[in-house]
Amino acid sequence: APEHVIENVKAMAKATAKFGDDQKKLRQVVKKKPPEGFVSWGEPTFNRLVESVPDPLTSSFTVTHAMLMNLMERPGDPFAAARRLLTENHESRPSQLRLMKKALGIYRELLAAEVIERIPAGEQGADGRTVRLTVHLQPNFALNQPLSPFALAALELLDPESPSYALDVVSVIEATLEKPRQILSAQQKKARGEAVAAMKADGIDYDQRMAMLDEVTYPQPLAEILGDAFEVYRKAAPWVGDFELAPKSVVRDMYERAMNFGEFVQFYGLARSEGIVLRYLADAFKALRQTVPQDMLREDLADLTAWLGELVRQVDSSLLDEWEELASGAAPTPHDAPPPPPPSLTSNIRAFRVMVRNEMFRRVELFADEDAAALGELDGGSGWGADRWEDALDDYFDEHDDIGTGPDARGPGLLIITEERGVWKVRQIFDDPAGNHDWGISAEVDLAESDATGTAVVRVTDVNRL
């Protein structure tokens, strides 16, 4: 029974024991109301389900990009195979016709995106194929989202030599995913709060602040370039007009802020929506793994993808385990067997190095903001409270006016990791304006504790000039 019903029964039983059959007293017992929006259920609901005539089963067949890609990959005429698939099912004839129209639209979309091409009659082989892929794809390639073909085409617009290339690829992929509205709402609320504080500090009056605040929203990287590209793409592939391009920054925001899962949830006040955050991150990881072609997978993008997958896996490995089993062709784990624990965090060296780099760079960003209080919260347990960070800030800014936090400051060239048994010794070098690179943060990474907690455990040992 629902919780409020159980509590009401207990309250009535308690009142009956106290007042007996005194109906006047019993009617005065305050009953707990169901929560707002609650759909009532209970024993009458159960009896109605048991006794009523079952609803007839109805087919819910649909056709997807991945389905057609699989048909085109296998030997034989894909058009004949698609025709059989779309007509030999339990859908009604009108529904079958709609599905065939949708399949034709997807096929034209893939052609327009130059993901596939028709094979000239003179080049067709004995296997009966009439279309072929035109790009080099990894073995586990799949078009998971309706806008994945657009994402594949939009990746060509990016500059592989740009320092922000890896994050720009993430932004292209994120723009094709469904909107996680709770996350975007929290990001907008945070952005507006920061904007109001900045406008008050600048002395902007209330009415003007309110007018300007309407323009503040959640971060949308590459929104203009992707929007323009989508309009052009839609002319050649009108089928995609049924779907919405949604530029947003969740994975990118988390990475740029050098946050782990818990820090991101706390920063945006998403404790009641942790599951939504985690599912979105898992979807983004799958889309990255399956949409970005191998020849576009630069080293820093591979690092970011590995970091994202390990972050999800350490929070809840079940979100990826079954998917990876299916992708690899391995035998699925029986449902009655307990799920295996996630692999140790430090066994994924690539992802763990990114986590360590993020932890160190988060301290660099807070150092640049001169936020000794936040630094003290991070490292108070290792003896680096706010006062000690204040001293380090004073010493550094006595010599330099600024500290870099751009791509160069975050690059692997300014992070030295010495791997020892059970511990890593780390030195994060500051990108000072003079280019001396003599100031930095020294720290130790406890590998055993990192495995136990599922996050990189970093303990600052010094902040100094060498």
Mean pLDDT lowest among 187-196, 204-213, 236-245, 401-410 = 236-245
**pLDDT confidence of 367, banded at 50, 70, 90?**
very high
Given a cut of 80, whether residue 48 has pLDDT beyond it is yes
Separation between Cα atoms, residue 82 and residue 79, nearest integer Å: 5
Number of domains in the chain: 4
Instruction: Give the model's pLDDT for residue 54.
Output: 86
Answer whether residue 372 is part of any domain. yes
Computed over every residue of the chain, the mean pLDDT equals: 89
**pLDDT confidence of 134, banded at 50, 70, 90?**
confident
Q: Give residue-wise pLDDT tens across range 266-296.
A: 999 999 899 999 999 999 999 999 889 888 9
| DSSP letter assigned to residue 106 | H
Given a cut of 80, whether residue 232 has pLDDT beyond it is yes
In degrees, to the nearest 5, what angle opens at C-alpha 47 toward C-alphas 43 and 49? 115
Answer whether residue 177 is part of any domain. yes
Q: If we measure between CA atoms, which residue out of 306, 443, 310, 308 comes closest to residue 381?
A: 443
**pLDDT confidence of 340, banded at 50, 70, 90?**
low
**pLDDT confidence of 398, banded at 50, 70, 90?**
very high
Per 3-state DSSP, the chain is made up of helix, strand and coil in percentages (nearest 5) of 60, 10, 35
Average pLDDT over every residue of 297-309 = 94
The two tokens of residue 415 are 């992070």
Instruction: Give the model's pLDDT for residue 457.
Output: 96
**pLDDT confidence of 143, banded at 50, 70, 90?**
low
Answer whether residue 54 is part of any domain. no
Answer whether residue 59 is part of any domain. no
184 φ, ψ (degrees, to nearest 5): -65, -35
Query: Is there a single domain that holds both residue 261 and residue 169?
Result: yes
Query: Is there a single domain that holds both residue 298 and residue 170?
Result: yes
Query: Is there a single domain that holds both residue 123 and residue 176?
Result: no
Separation between Cα atoms, residue 5 and residue 3, nearest integer Å: 5
Domain-terminating residue out of 321, 343, 365: 343
Instruction: Give the model's pLDDT for residue 135.
Output: 62
**pLDDT confidence of 391, banded at 50, 70, 90?**
very high
Q: Give residue-wise pLDDT tens across range 421-457.
A: 999 999 999 999 999 999 999 999 999 999 999 999 9
Number of H helices, E strands in the chain: 21, 6
Given a cut of 60, whether residue 138 has pLDDT beyond it is no
Domain-terminating residue out of 282, 310, 343: 343
Query: Is there a single domain that holds both residue 383 and residue 331?
Result: no
Answer whether residue 47 is part of any domain. no
Domain-terminating residue out of 301, 328, 343: 343
Instruction: Give the model's pLDDT for residue 331.
Output: 58
Instruction: Give the model's pLDDT for residue 136.
Output: 59
Half-sphere exposure of 434 (CA within 13 A, CB side): 9
Containing structural domain, residue 262 = 155-343
Query: Is there a single domain that holds both residue 245 and residue 179?
Result: yes
With contact defined as beta carbons under 8 Å apart, do 422 and 390 qualify? no
Q: Give residue-wise pLDDT tens across range 53-112.
A: 888 888 999 888 778 877 887 888 899 999 999 999 999 999 999 999 999 988 988 888
| DSSP letter assigned to residue 90 | S
Instruction: Give the model's pLDDT for residue 192.
Output: 94
Answer whether residue 56 is part of any domain. no
DSSP secondary structure of 227-261: HHHHHHHHHH-GGGGGS------SHHHHHHTT--H
Query: Is there a single domain that holds both residue 250 and residue 274?
Result: yes
Average pLDDT over every residue of 23-34 = 84
Compute the chain's Rg from CA coordinates.
28
Query: Is there a single domain that holds both residue 330 and residue 308?
Result: yes
Query: Is there a single domain that holds both residue 261 and residue 401?
Result: no
Q: Give residue-wise pLDDT tens across range 7-22.
A: 888 988 988 988 888 8
Query: Is there a single domain that holds both residue 312 and residue 206?
Result: yes
**pLDDT confidence of 364, banded at 50, 70, 90?**
very high
Mean pLDDT lowest among 26-30, 174-178, 461-465 = 26-30
Q: If we measure between CA atoms, which residue out of 354, 440, 375 comes closest to residue 404?
A: 440
Query: Is there a single domain that holds both residue 336 and residue 189?
Result: yes
Mean pLDDT lowest among 124-138, 168-182, 304-318, 396-410 = 124-138
164 φ, ψ (degrees, to nearest 5): -95, 15
The two tokens of residue 335 are 């449902």
Query: Is there a single domain that holds both residue 108 and residue 205?
Result: no
- Residue 371 region by backbone torsions, left for phi larger than 0, else alpha for psi between -120 and 50, else beta: beta
Other CB atoms within a 10 A radius of the CB of residue 66 amount to: 16
Which are the contacts of 180, defined by CB distance < 8 A and separation ≥ 6?
A: 250, 276, 277, 280
The two tokens of residue 442 are 């020294």
Query: Is there a single domain that holds both residue 183 and residue 255?
Result: yes
Answer whether residue 145 is part of any domain. no
Given a cut of 90, whether residue 335 has pLDDT beyond it is no
Answer whether residue 228 is part of any domain. yes
